[in-house]
Amino acid sequence: MDYTVIIGLEVHVQLQTRTKLFCGCSTRFNPDHPNTQTCPVCLGLPGALPVLNREAFHLGMKTGLAINCEIPSFTKWDRKQYYYPDLPKAYQISQYDLPMSQNGWLEIEIDPETRETKKVGIIRAHLEEDAGKNSHDESGRGHDSKVDLNRCGTPLVEIVSEPDLRSAQEARKYLEELKLLLTYIDVSDCNMQEGSLRCDANVNLHIHQENGETIPTPIVEIKNLNSFRGVEQAIEFEVKRQWEAWQETKLSLHDVPKETRGWDADRGITLEQRGKEEAADYRYFPDPDLAPVTVTDAEREKVSSELCERPALRRNRLESEYELSAYDAAVIIDQGLAFADYFEQVAKGCQNGKQAANWVTQDVLRELKEKGLEISSFTIKPEILAALLEKVERSEITTKSARTVFQELINSEESELNAASVQSIIEDKGLAMVSDTGALEAAVQAVVAKNEKAVADFQSGKQAAVGALIGQVMREVKGADPKVVRELLIEKMS
């Protein structure tokens, strides 16, 4: 007897608008100044009314289109009603039966070896307002809970996947790909620490009986997943727990209502959530305070045209256009849009994609990580790095010298850097490749004369003997191209 893991994810993503979904209050993350970003609308004061943020709807459409959804021509707003102190109106304005986008998919790579991919279905992606934040007394002494409404009313898009994911790793991969995509198309910063991307997972098992029957175990919704690792660990835990529960109780999905469990990251376990004392009856109905939105083909096309190339496509293009390995292309894309743009500018500037990829994924990335920088604040702009690599490409300097120049560039003030910096550092340091073949030939001649044993070794077939001699020549003539030196040595010794 074995089982298949069935996972669907509900992901809430905060859209990057200046103001909230239905009022002009700031969406800035500001937990240190509670209740300073509220107004009658988001406080739910009697008499206040919501008005839809145009940009939020626009970003919602962009999101829907990026995950290959249909954008229906008519969408409306509904009230989802429940009582909680972080929800001042006691209803959340959301979308129920006519969401703004539906029936999409997201492709993920499920096996890095075979590069096998899978299209994960997306049921719907709709807009809704966020709630505020409750903080509970952790002392266990039952002190009052505190409510901060700064976040209340922030625009979210909720993306609901089909239960197409089959492992915790796939779930993580889906979430990573989704985050990459949404940051790429610039609809969200997806900052998980600040709660801009939150995830709930619906998990159950399909138990395969020996008689060929399949029995689904009760569905559990895991809440409070706020890191990629958390998603993976919580699902793994839950799969194990459900398998054990099945063996013990043999209860199926039809015997038990859907259960909500919370992920406790510290203890590494999921816990039954109390306080949901009654089966939810949200009493959805169309919000009479808001007007429906209609979308035309022209509007859909316009938003579509604003979408940049999506990460999966760009990854493929980098591989083919710049002859990169799949690994390098993935590393570049996974760093985000600005990094990929940086790479392409360098690659185009120096006319060598592979070389650009090596530098960008190694030297540049190392430097960013060490200093904790974003590519946008990196002082060596792509045109400068391209100018440097072009020198290597044209054999004007050696790769080794290029690294020296790179260090010099990093140590320079950003304001002093320009396209000419590379050349002036090369000159200052005397790193220019020696093109005076006379001097080089003389040096080679002298070294060959001094190293009779090595020459004899070489002539008896030991190719490695050349290596030691190259070093000696290089010490004599700074900036010599090792390839040329090698050729000259072999020529002389043969």
Partner 1 sequence: MSNTSATASELLAKMNSGEVSSEEITAACLEEIARRDNSINAFLSLQAETALETAREVDRKRKAGEPLGKLAGIPVALKDNICAKGATTTCASKMLEAFTPPYDAHIVEQLRAADAVLIGKTNLDEFAMGSSTENSAFKTTANPWNTKCAAGGSSGGSAAAVAAGFAPLSLGSDTGGSIRQPASFCGVVGLKPTYGRVSRYGLVAFASSLDQIGPFARDVTDAALLLETIAGKDQRDTTSLDADVPSYTKNLEQPLENLKVGYIEHLHAEGLHEDVKAATQQALEVYKSLGAELIPVELPHAKYCVATYYIIAPSEASSNLARYDGVHYGYRAKQFDNMIDMYAASRGEAFGDEVKRRIMLGTYALSSGYYDAYYLKALKVRRLIRNDFEQAFQKVDIIASPVTPTPAFEIGELVDDPLAMYLADIFTTSANLSGIPGVSVPAGMSQNKLPIGLQLLAPPLEEERLLRAARMFERETDWHRQRPE
Partner 2 sequence: MSTQLTQDEVLKVASLSRLKLSETEVTALGEQMGSVLKYIAMLDELDTTDIEPMAHAIEISNVFRDDQLQESLPREQALSNAPQTDGKYFLVPAIL
Q: Look up residue 139 and give its DSSP letter.
A: S
Minimum CB–partner distance for residue 57 and partner 1 (Å): 13
φ and ψ of 65, to 5 deg:
-65, -35
Closest of 397, 479, 487 to residue 444, by C-alpha: 487
Q: Let me know the angle formed at the C-alpha of 444 by 440 and 445, rounded to the nearest 5 degrees.
A: 115
Contacted entry of partner 1, partner 2, none for residue 4, CB cut-off 5 to 8 Å set by kind: none
Distance of CA 436 to the CA centre of its chain: 50
224: left (phi over 0), alpha (psi -120 to 50) or beta: left
- Name which of residues 16 to 55 contact partner 2 (CB under 8 A): 17-19, 23-26, 33-40, 43, 45, 51-55
Contacted entry of partner 2, partner 1, none for residue 136, CB cut-off 5 to 8 Å set by kind: partner 2
Q: Are 100 and 61 in contact (CB under 8 A)?
A: yes
Q: Which token pair is 484?
A: 């040329």
Contacted entry of partner 2, partner 1, none for residue 47, CB cut-off 5 to 8 Å set by kind: partner 1
Binding residue (CB under 8 A) for partner 1 from 140, 212, 288, 372:
288
Q: Does 266 help bind partner 2 (rule: CB under 8 A)?
A: no
The sign one gets for the Cα dihedral 486, 490, 492, 493 is: positive
Q: Does 297 help bind partner 2 (rule: CB under 8 A)?
A: no
State the binding string over 138-177 for partner 1 (x if CB under 8 A, else -): -------x-x-x----------------------------
Distance, in Å, from the CA atom of 87 to the CA atom of 79, rounded to the nearest integer, reads: 12
Q: Does 291 help bind partner 2 (rule: CB under 8 A)?
A: yes
- Name which of residues 128 to 157 contact partner 2 (CB under 8 A): 134-137, 142-149
Binding residue (CB under 8 A) for partner 1 from 97, 210, 248, 281:
281
Measured CA to CA in angstroms, residue 247 lies from 207, 212, 242, 434 at distances of 10, 17, 9, 76
Q: Which is nearer to partner 1, 43 or 71 (CB)?
A: 43
Q: Let me know the angle formed at the C-alpha of 393 by 353 and 314, rounded to the nearest 5 degrees.
A: 10
Closest of 194, 121, 154 to residue 25, by C-alpha: 154
Binding residue (CB under 8 A) for partner 1 from 4, 18, 45, 439:
45
Contacted entry of partner 1, partner 2, none for residue 49, CB cut-off 5 to 8 Å set by kind: partner 1
Which residue matches tokens 């570049």?
332
Distance, in Å, from the CA atom of 264 to the CA atom of 461, rounded to the nearest integer, reads: 67
Contacted entry of partner 1, partner 2, none for residue 326, CB cut-off 5 to 8 Å set by kind: none
Minimum CB–partner distance for residue 281 and partner 1 (Å): 5
Distance, in Å, from the CA atom of 448 to the CA atom of 441, rounded to the nearest integer, reads: 10
Q: Does 290 help bind partner 1 (rule: CB under 8 A)?
A: yes
Q: Does 137 help bind partner 1 (rule: CB under 8 A)?
A: no
Which residue matches tokens 């159950």?
204
Q: Half-sphere exposure of residue 490, counting CA atoms within 13 Å on the CB side? A: 11
H or E segment to which residue 197 belongs:
strand 197-208
Q: Which is nearer to partner 2, 216 or 262 (CB)?
A: 262
Distance of CA 470 to the CA centre of its chain: 45
Contacted entry of partner 2, partner 1, none for residue 148, CB cut-off 5 to 8 Å set by kind: partner 2
Q: Look up residue 257 and give its DSSP letter.
A: -
H helix runs in 432-481, sequence order = 437-450, 452-459, 465-476
The residue length of the chain stands at: 494
For residues 72-110, b (16+ Cβ closer than 10 Å) or e, as one string?
A: beebbbbbbbeeeebbbbebbbbbbebbbbbebbbbbbb
Minimum CB–partner distance for residue 83 and partner 1 (Å): 6
Contacted entry of partner 2, partner 1, none for residue 89, CB cut-off 5 to 8 Å set by kind: partner 1
Minimum CB–partner distance for residue 52 and partner 2 (Å): 5
Contact region for partner 1 (CB under 8 A) — 47-55, 354-362, 408-416, 452-460? 47-55
Q: Does 490 help bind partner 1 (rule: CB under 8 A)?
A: no
Distance, in Å, from the CA atom of 40 to the CA atom of 46, rounded to the nearest integer, reads: 8
Map residue 208 onto helix, strand or coil: strand
- Name which of residues 88 to 107 contact partner 1 (CB under 8 A): 88-91
- Name which of residues 197 to 256 contact partner 2 (CB under 8 A): none
Contact region for partner 1 (CB under 8 A) — 57-65, 87-95, 379-387, 434-442? 87-95
Contacted entry of partner 1, partner 2, none for residue 44, CB cut-off 5 to 8 Å set by kind: partner 1
Binding residue (CB under 8 A) for partner 2 from 47, 288, 372, 438:
288
Map residue 368 onto helix, strand or coil: helix
Q: Which is nearer to partner 2, 73 or 376 (CB)?
A: 73
Q: Does 276 help bind partner 1 (rule: CB under 8 A)?
A: no
Binding site for partner 2 (CB under 8 A): 17-19, 23-26, 33-40, 43, 45, 51-57, 76, 83-85, 134-137, 142-149, 274-275, 278, 281, 283, 285-286, 288, 290-294
Binding residues for partner 1, rule: CB under 8 A, are 40, 43-52, 79, 81, 83, 85, 88-91, 145, 147, 149, 277, 281, 283, 285, 288-291
